[in-house]
Structure 1
Amino acid sequence: GSSVTRCNFVCCTVSHSPSLLEPMFSTRHASRALVARPRQLGTKAGLQMQAARTAPASAHLAHKTLFDSSRRGCAGSANSSPQTFEFKAETKKLLDIVAKSLYTDKEVFVRELISNASDACEKLRFLQATSQAQTITDESIPLGISLKIDETARTFTIEDTGVGMTHDELVQHLGTIAKSGSLDFLQNASQDTSNIIGQFGVGFYSTFVVADKVEVFTKTYDATTGAQGYLWSSDGSGSFTIVETPDVPRGTRIVLHLKDDATEFAKLATVKKAAQKFSSYIDFPISVFENGEPQ
């Protein structure tokens, strides 16, 4: 079998300025001019929504990177053998906070994943209009979002055809507390945490409220990097693995293996309702599939 590379990491703090090149897991856009088109739920079209967005205000966030990726054999160099990374103690605490705060509001993960997918498509649409357009891989694939459920396999899957992520970006963005002070704030929050987790870049962790295993298949848009596909996988208990994976299209596919108490999210009625609730202002088509069939 493949050997597993285990890496030791140290915490470091870096200054980070978000840009339109940053992949999916970013903080919420500060302002949006919302112009909603009436929802349509068609056999092939899925859910269609329209929004006119204003450009996000520039901001400087201090990102707390949980890994020193300069260590040999770690995040700085991808290979075909799985690499295992340990979540730091602060990330484990955040996972616990998010899980407890969303236990009675599980569907929030749908909102977070749809918003992240929309951000990824938004960034690629911007790049398509710039001089970087010629570097986009799988250019013929249209921008869009898909929700796929399989009640037998008990899985919920969301796919987008946006910017995707490189190996290093997987480590950075799925192993990073996106805003300094996030843990302290969320621990002491007096308001409804479910409404603010996205602002702190931890919305992705809401997936572990409903899933006992999360898989992220992704390939970056940037053909100059070789556009290799990767699989990120974790059960949320303390570590995650990354391995090169062939035949991954541009964008990101997130597969949730649902817990026993969250199997309703593999049911068509539940997913349609949640998609309609959280997609009113998404500027890309959303298609819903059940057992591979469009709904």
Structure 2
Amino acid sequence: MSRSPKTARRLFDRFEPVHALTYFAAESLRGFEDAGFRGFWMGYFAGRAAPLGRVPAEVVTAVFYNFSASHVGRALPDAWDFASPADALRVRTAAATAALRRCGVTDDEATVTAATLLERAARTAPVEGRPLFAANLALPWPEDPVARLWHATTLLREHRGDGHVALLVAAGITGRRCNVLHSVADRVPREFIARSRQYDDAEWQACVEALAERGVLDSTGALTDTGRRVKQELEDDTDRLALDAFDSLDDDDLETLFRTLTPLTRKVIAAGDIPAATPMGLQRDDLEDDDAHVR
């Protein structure tokens, strides 16, 4: 079937906030703290990496891609001295589900329908070359409708993320440099990405210089024409790879998914937990439109 890759981007802007609530909600922060994890980042790395099991920090650094080895290494494997991966998974799902319910996402027909369609997409999405998606796919599916919705969005965002990482590797753009490129391209403010991904001025400048050597940035650190082309191709190809996850949904299914999921996303955004600027570079200007535009 022929669909525009833009459909994948519009879907991402809808399902990613449902997943991303886990990183910002008080329920998640409190749940990881109660489980024994020390501080936000230990909970973050333990929760997101838990589907992989007790793997070394080097594996998580490789799979997550854009965090420094030292950042990951301060949390893992020490986190597993405080609680197990199974504990982290239990807390993560329960906290995200509670946060979504607080935002007004209930067990109504819209939630059940959106969760069912997203689950079908996630279960049939290509798994090859997507380690974090595969690890989450191997987990049991929750029975609770809101938990199922969250789990399905988690799978689809990691599927997209694994594809994006593969494209960055193929383009020769390292994890640390891709953050800088993302910021310079006005997707995320420098202050936010530097703080959340822990750059000092020296590392940031080293990334700028490396990207300038490739012609992606100029001597002032601004995007060149080549840089704009490279960045746009990365985003377009990410959408193209992500679109395959929805091949099991026909056009009517996609229309139904947009119609049921978009209002749920608006509820999550309206609750205010997720800041306007995030490392994911989410777009909100399309969220008043619940039409899939596939016809």
When normalised by structure 2's length, the TM-score is 0.25
- Higher strand residue share: 1
When normalised by structure 1's length, the TM-score is 0.25
- Higher helix residue share: 2
